[in-house]
Amino acid sequence: MALPRHKLTNSELKAKTPGKYSDGGGLWFHKRPDGGAQWFLRYTIFGRRHEMGLGSFPSVTLKAARQEAEKWQAVVREGKDAIKERERQRREAESNLHILSDVARDAFESRKAELKGDGKAGRWFSPLELHVLPKLGKMPITQIDQRDIRDTLVPIWHTKASTAQKAMDRLRICFRHAAALGLDVDLQATDKAKALLGKQRHTVTNIPAMNWRDVPAFYQSLDGGSISELALRLLMLTAVRSYPLRTLHLEQIDGDVWTIPAEAMKGRLGATSDFRVPLSQEARRVIAEAALLARDGFLFPGVRKGVISDMTMSKLMERRGLAERPHGFRSSFRDWVAETTNTPHDVAETALGHTVGGAVERSYRRTDFLEQRRKLTERWAYFLQAVPAGKVISI
């Protein structure tokens, strides 16, 4: 004899007093003392009774609860535990979602070896992490279209143009990565989003650079002996970028040559070799002074751990009331070279770590002009120290 089913009615559910009421077929309605209510399915399998939640009332209606109950009772009739089967299906569904945050991190991991400092130094992931993933990270990438991307980046498209463009570029890589994984994504979504966003109004401005004539006075004012002052002095003397200088390790220095690992260099596309930097007498004096403050082999350690941050030297200049920034000293150096010396173009560009010439030309030219650059950096050091002209080395 079949047990009675559908014993409850919609009209009586809200009026029920606290307790548990059977609708038949294993479906139960539980009215709590606080006035809330929920559905649960009671079933027995392998000799044990279980209660499986089916949602709260009235969000889950009587009709929907009955349908869910029948669905999971069918699973029990197949000899499966309904609760465990539901959890298995949930995990499988999540693994098949391929949400953007997972794809983005997988794309990042696959490219780490190509990026400077495994991508940490260049903050490859930051534009996505800060401006995209908070809004789109939990969406399946197959469901993201150009409108989603436009709505996400429109707040910064003009005000933070460079960052927005980087975020768009990283998204394009993520979509290509998803396609390589076999996912059905729109590879033109980012291009369509750019069309919707329109041309950026933001005008890119160069990093403020100090006039080369004013650099010696500023250099000579850095006489406090702090780590940030010593780092800034060596940055000015060598005209290198901030990252290789901040991460300079004592093992990289051999006599009067500092060898920067290839992975720490920027602007030398295709370069697989390290980059040698000639050190002037003044640069070696700065290094010797900084070595007394070194920690874990790093010449410019941070306050607590690691090395000084990218902002340390900038903040020093800001406190001096200067609008110029450390990176600008590379421009100061290049202008000085152009206006006061007869240094060949290739030597001057190599001194800045720039790639000179095409791939074929570079394959035949084996020199890095070290000896010519050695004289140039020595003369630059004399200039920064205001050494009398009679002692200046000719190139």
- The answer on pLDDT for 392 being more than 50 is no
CA 237 to CA 219: how far, in whole Å? 9
pLDDT digit string (tens) for 130-163? 999 999 999 999 999 999 999 999 999 998 888 9
Instruction: pLDDT band for 123, please (50, 70, 90 cuts).
Output: confident
- The answer on pLDDT for 241 being more than 70 is yes
CB atoms within 10 A of CB 372: 19
What local confidence, expressed as pLDDT, does residue 317 receive? 92
Query: What is the largest distance, in Å, between two alpha-carbon atoms of the chain?
Result: 116
Torsion sign across C-alpha atoms 178, 180, 182, 187: positive
- The answer on pLDDT for 366 being more than 90 is no
Mean pLDDT computed over 223-229? 92
What local confidence, expressed as pLDDT, does residue 212 receive? 94
The answer to whether 238 and 248 are in contact (CB under 8 A) is no
pLDDT digit string (tens) for 7-64? 888 888 888 899 999 988 899 999 999 889 999 999 999 989 999 999 999 889 999 9
What local confidence, expressed as pLDDT, does residue 268 receive? 42
At residue 371, the 3 state secondary structure works out as helix
HSE (side-chain half, CA atoms, 13 Å) at 195: 7
Unique residue bearing structure tokens 């000896």? 371
What local confidence, expressed as pLDDT, does residue 119 receive? 59
Mean pLDDT computed over 330-349? 93
CA 85 to CA 76: how far, in whole Å? 9
pLDDT digit string (tens) for 80-94? 999 999 998 887 776
**Mean confidence (pLDDT) of the chain:** 87
- Token representation of residue 260: 């920067």
What local confidence, expressed as pLDDT, does residue 183 receive? 87
pLDDT digit string (tens) for 23-35? 888 999 999 998 8
- The answer on pLDDT for 253 being more than 90 is yes
Q: Which is more confidently placed, 336 or 112?
A: 336
The answer to whether 73 and 25 are in contact (CB under 8 A) is yes
Q: Give the rounded percent of residues in the chain with a pLDDT score beyond 90.
A: 65
What local confidence, expressed as pLDDT, does residue 329 receive? 94
What local confidence, expressed as pLDDT, does residue 389 receive? 52
At residue 184, the 3 state secondary structure works out as coil
